[in-house]
Amino acid sequence: MEPQDTVMDRIKFKVNGIQYSVGSEISSDEMLLDYLRSYLQLRGTKYMCREGGCGACIVTASKCPGGPQVSINSCMVSIGSCEGWDIRTIEALGNKKAGYHPLQKTLADHHGTQCGYCTCGWIMAMHGLLESKKRVTMLEIEQAFGSNVCRCTGYRPILDAFKKFAVDAPKDRIMDIEDLSICKKSGKPCNQTCEDDEWCLVDEEDVQDRLKRIVLRDGKIWYKPRVLLEVFSILLTEGPHSYMLVNGNTAKGAYPIDQYPRLLIDISNLKELKSISYDQNLVVGAGLTLSEFLEVLDAGSKQQYFGYLRKLYDHVSLVAHIPVRNVGTIAGNLMIKHTHNEFPSDIYLLLNTVGAQLSLVDFHGARLTVTMEHFLRVDMTGKVIINVLLPPMSDSHKLYTYKLMPRAQSAHAIVNAGFLYKLHPNTSVVESSRIIYGGLSTKFPRAVATEQYLVGKNLFSNDTLQGALRVLDGEMIVEANPPEQSVEYRRFIAKALFYKGLLTLCPPKVVAKRYQSGTDKIHDSRPVSDGKQTFTTDPTMWPLNQPIVKVEAAIQCSGEAQYTDDIPSIHNEVFGAFVLSTVAKGTIAKIDPSAALNLPGVLAFYTAKDIPGLNSFTPADSLLYTSNEEVLCDGNVKYYHQPIGIVVAETQLVADRAARYVRVQYSNITKPVTDVKEAKKDAKRNTMFVSMDATNPGTDVFKTIKGSNTFYGQYHFTMETLACVAKPTEEGIEVHSTTQWLDGVHVMISRALNIPENKIDVHVRRLGGAYGIKISRNIQCAVACSLVVHKMNRPCRFIQPLTTNMRAVGKRLPCSSDFEVAVNHSGQIQKIDLSIYEDNGYKINETLSALGVDVFNNCYDATRFNYKLFDTITDTAKNSWCRSPGTLEAIASIEYVMEQISYELSLDPVAVRLANLDRTKYSDMVEMVELMKTNSEFTKRRSAVDSFNTQNRWKKRGLRWAFSRWSPAGAQRFDVNLSVFHADGSVVITHAGVEMGQGINTKAVQLAAYLLKIPIEKIQIKGNNTIIAPNSFISGGSLTTQSIIIALRRCCDELNARLEPIRTTLTNPTWEALITAAYNANVDLQAHGFVHVGDAQMYNVYGMALCEVEVDILTGEFEVIRVDILQDVGFSVSPEIDVGQVEGAFIMGLGYWTCERLVYSEDGAMVTDRTWDYHVPQARDIPQDFRVYFKKNSYSNEVILGSKGTGEPATCASVVVAFALREAIVQARQDSGIPTTQWFSIDGPYTTEKVCMSAQTNTKDFRFY
């Protein structure tokens, strides 16, 4: 190895056409994301999970001169790996000065943004797709976004916008793909074609002419070798004891890396690892990215004896998502499996199934060829995987693979399996077989006994199948591995996939028609999704009631919209992180922060005793609050991962790492109770909130039904995390918080620091999603951040990582209900005893139970109810506001009762609901049912579903209804100011509401433009703070927009009244002339409006949903085929905004009822605390056909212009998805001999496991004919 000048070595790359370089000033744990945001201040690139699971961080990059721009997760890529890259961020696509890129404009015009925080990641992912694959179909576009999450929109408008650029889009698509090019030389939009050789020229200075060695800021050593020999030279010189070969660095998405080893060797450009050749095998370089591997598989599948590679291609397409596949490599994936044998690697499984081998070489030059199973036993120290040898296969080989995931895309396998059978020519007799599994146990990677059993037998006979299943069941080892699914489910799936594979490989003429449905991979057959939004609008009222583009949409699509942590770096700033408890119940005996304080860059450590004032982040004297919640634990731990201290460091990465180094000793440790089903049995844990007695019980009792239902929590999954940026000022402290409640932050910082409120200024411009978590939970980190500023007199950022949010912060209140209901022959309730237990977590504070009291009966006759509502305590984080708190649980609980009545009496579910409808109060529902039946083509579809279920054994459909009546609770206290500038008549509005994607600002602009009779372009909404909007109430509960409407109307009315005398002196004046005249006449051009608790508006929001699903009974996977929602929004001020609210609310609810599973360990720790194991719906999980209709002729009252709340009600109707899935399960159970009248409980979300196991399928029913 030649001597190196370590001072001069730099990693060079371009960002948006500008050359940059990095060297010893960076640390090993700094990713490209950190460099873009913190060094270059390009904060249009966002973040949330920092593990490649959300898509907010996506940028594009050309990794070599002339290469295409491809999407990558900037949070995963080490900045040192960017040598020679040409990186492009959202700032390079377009902005208001240079003009917007067609992708940005189209997404904005199609209402594809709400909070906007995820938007830049979506656009860059789409940009990468179009740059790397010029001609894409609508289906390919929909399949391309396993990388991206949007919690707000429900995905439909985003997909509609991007599908405009597909080659098979309708002819009115917006722009040809060719028009979307970005100039490879300038990095700017361009529609000209350059000669390839112009771009492919490489400057001499860009050619790496020697090995690079950089000692990083944290002492790690980064190497950039040119050839493989240099890798071995490095290991011989430095020693192979602490090193990591770096390529995509995507392993940290599966297994987080707390500390990188001493040596980091970047092997991403080694040509020896990227070769492709044929001998008798297809020899593939192990350093190929998975995207490159897909290209090899696609091309290779066209070669003789390698047709089977098409099946590998299909399976590899399910590995991670495009940005990860663009940098993650074959060898990298295999090394994760090697290090963590339990990892269900799809690459390993596929290669093992087909009998591939690996070529290895060590740093002494010795070469070794190993099987996949041998590879796991090889000590890989000092060794490199050179290539993969894929064998040829004749037509007598039959291959089948499967990956079962908790959602349609971008999740690791619950179980994956590969089956390869070699048959005697022209027969079905087995010569040999390979049966490989992942996700079961490290002790059972291969079903050897089953393979041997099959030899010499007819593969496609019922006797062989049942015999093999018995052998497989006998040899199979499945081990518990929380939070992975249960042993019982994975054991069943292993057998079901074996059967499914044989059904698929079996000649169709052998398989009975009814069993052929078992051959389908249910997500593979999903078509391009579609949707319809039906509403009326009155042009005479415009701009009120006009479907306009959201006023912030363009700047959200360009990255110009600033969020809290987008504030540029502040000189001398520090960073804070919480230290979390490692027991659920106990007493802190000792805290030792010395190990943390000894880490380079760590500055301070604080505990509760360092808080000068009140140790609380909730105002106990405020409406809806009754007690204080600790900022930092006072010594008695209330729940696992409770914050107990604050570490302060020079960077966020160091602070987060140091927090894990603080050592805490505990005493008096006791076992926690984390399940509301258990807690409700303990009278000491339950406090009655309300009790109501039936006032008109009936006597016509035909049957009495008992039941119990439990719903669990839901993480809000805001794309913007909980964050605070604070700095000292001449008055005191300036605080920028991700908050829905400015006054709450203001008050609690004042109380904690013992300083007057007039010395604290709290600001918020917008939120990147909230859904309730930022009402009070954010105040904890705001107080902590302000404490650091107060103590150190330095600016501080306090950015909570996703894991801290999921572990330490409360979620949607779990709920358990018990009931006993007496009904007549028609299912009409005569009397019902209903008890609901709301899980508050460790403390009763926010009185969220109150929000559900008004809708405990939904739309049914309340006079028949004996109703009790309890607040229950568990040993978990204090649960909090989450979209439709209280109301969702109440409405779902009674809807479940209606379903059970329907099943046990074999009655039509709509008839049962109508029999119990309170027609004197809620008669609107009767008309809505008939309209829904017509719009949804219900009668025809009901018949089709019944026919489908009769004809198919292994796929079933369900078609079910849900009713909901939602009502607002209370009112808010907000200030609104409207100011007109005399020189040009432009208008500024400030209001105390917090814009978080619900469209307050857009509706405010429409209202003011309508009332003042001016163009909407004249109006600007400014940011919010406690100076212009003091003492403001919570923004939430679907109330904020209507409150702002009330106060803004008062502003406009006041201003119009002042202007009227001036107007009468002029002849038809323009707005500008009127304002000039008023100014000259000394008219006050600023108006103030105030809304308060006396402005509560009472109305009902009616809704109903019809959902059709299709379920794979063998796996529990399902597709939502169609959803129809008939929603009451009143008179819509902005119809497209309201459509987005309805769709987004429903899809968030769909996740709650299906895939969002929270798991606690026995000691009380939240173990589903990352995107790796907490799965929200993605673009391929939404209904294939999603239709929203607005109820016609609905009007609340004149005060709020007939409008109604839209942000929460549709969440309540989303329980319909669970009901449709239940119907499909019931049909499968009937085929197993279980009567449809037999009720069964499914607690929590209808995961693939719950769906599959509830069907109670017996493997003895597995057959071909």
Q: Which helix (H) or strand (E) holds 780?
A: helix 773-792
What is the CA angle 754-760-766, rounded to 5?
A: 130
- Per the annotation, does 919 bind a ligand? no
**Which CATH code of 3.40.190.10, 3.30.390.50, 3.40.50.300, 3.20.20.370 fits the domain covering 397-511?**
3.30.390.50
Q: How confident is the model at residue 173 (pLDDT cuts 50, 70, 90)?
A: low
For residues 321, 325, 328 and 332, what is the CA-based torsion angle, rounded to 10 degrees? 80
The pLDDT of residue 175: 55
The 10s digit of each residue's pLDDT in 804-834 is 999 999 999 999 999 999 999 999 999 999 9
Q: How confident is the model at residue 1 (pLDDT cuts 50, 70, 90)?
A: very low
- Per the annotation, does 304 bind a ligand? no
Token pair 């805290």 is at which residue?
591
The 10s digit of each residue's pLDDT in 355-410 is 999 999 999 999 999 999 999 999 999 999 999 999 999 999 999 999 999 999 99
The pLDDT of residue 7: 54
What is the CA angle 1246-1103-533, rounded to 5?
A: 90
Mean pLDDT of 675-680: 98
- Per the annotation, does 1052 bind a ligand? no
The two structure tokens encoding residue 74: 């900037």
Cβ-proximal residues to 1150 (8 Å cutoff; 6+ apart), any chain: 1120, 1177, 1181, 1182, 1214, 1217
Percent residues over pLDDT 70 in the chain: 96
The 10s digit of each residue's pLDDT in 629-670 is 999 999 999 999 999 999 999 999 999 999 999 999 999 999
Q: What count of other Cβ atoms lies within 10 Å of the Cβ of residue 605?
A: 21
Q: Which strands make up the sheet holding 282-285, listed edge to edge?
A: 276-278, 282-285, 383-390, 357-362, 367-371
- Per the annotation, does 115 bind a ligand? yes
Question: How is domain 270-393 classified at the architecture level of CATH?
Answer: 2-Layer Sandwich (3.30)
Q: How confident is the model at residue 959 (pLDDT cuts 50, 70, 90)?
A: very high
Q: Cα–Cα distance between 947 and 940 in angstroms, integer?
A: 11
Which class would CATH give 815-968+1099-1254? Answer: alpha beta
The two structure tokens encoding residue 345: 């690697």
The 10s digit of each residue's pLDDT in 1187-1229 is 999 999 999 999 999 999 999 999 999 999 999 999 999 999 9
Q: How confident is the model at residue 208 (pLDDT cuts 50, 70, 90)?
A: low
DSSP conformation class of 455: B
- Per the annotation, does 75 bind a ligand? yes
The pLDDT of residue 8: 73
Indicate if the pLDDT at residue 184 is higher than 50: no
The yes/no answer on whether domain 974-1095 falls in CATH 1.25.40.10 is: no
What is the pTM (predicted TM-score) of this model?
0.96
Q: Residue 14 in 3-state DSSP?
A: strand
Mean pLDDT of 1151-1176: 98
Indicate if the pLDDT at residue 456 is higher than 60: yes
Helix pair angle (1000-1012, 1040-1063), 10° resolution: 20
- Per the annotation, does 785 bind a ligand? no
Burial class (CB in 10 A: 0-12, 13-18, 19+), 415: buried
Domain 11-215 fold is Ubiquitin-like (UB roll) (3.10.20)
Asked if residue 811 lies in contact with residue 839, where contact means CB atoms within 8 angstroms, the answer is no
Domain ranges in the chain are 11-215, 270-393, 397-511, 577-662+722-799, 815-968+1099-1254, 974-1095
Token pair 């495009």 is at which residue?
322
From residue 889, alpha-carbon distances to 151, 803, 851, 868, 1215 in Å are 20, 26, 10, 14, 10
Indicate if the pLDDT at residue 4 is higher than 70: no
Mean pLDDT of 410-419: 98
The 10s digit of each residue's pLDDT in 854-905 is 999 999 999 999 999 999 999 999 999 999 999 999 999 999 999 999 999 9
Q: Cα–Cα distance between 100 and 558 in angstroms, integer?
A: 7
Indicate if the pLDDT at residue 949 is higher than 60: yes
- CATH fold match for the domains 577-662+722-799 and 815-968+1099-1254: yes
Establish how many alpha carbons lie within 13 A of residue 1016's alpha carbon, considering only the half-sphere containing its beta carbon: 19
- Per the annotation, does 57 bind a ligand? yes
Query: Catalytic site residues?
Result: 1208
The pLDDT of residue 178: 43
- Per the annotation, does 64 bind a ligand? no
The 10s digit of each residue's pLDDT in 89-141 is 999 999 999 999 999 999 999 999 999 999 999 999 999 999 999 899 999 99
Q: Fill in the amino acid letter for 109.
A: D
Selection from 1159, 1163, 1157, 1158 nearest residue 673 by Cα: 1163
Which class would CATH give 577-662+722-799? Answer: alpha beta
The 10s digit of each residue's pLDDT in 661-674 is 999 999 999 999 99
Q: Cα–Cα distance between 503 and 773 in angstroms, integer?
A: 47
Percent residues over pLDDT 90 in the chain: 95
The 10s digit of each residue's pLDDT in 221-272 is 999 999 999 999 999 999 999 999 999 999 999 999 999 999 999 999 999 9
Q: How confident is the model at residue 3 (pLDDT cuts 50, 70, 90)?
A: very low
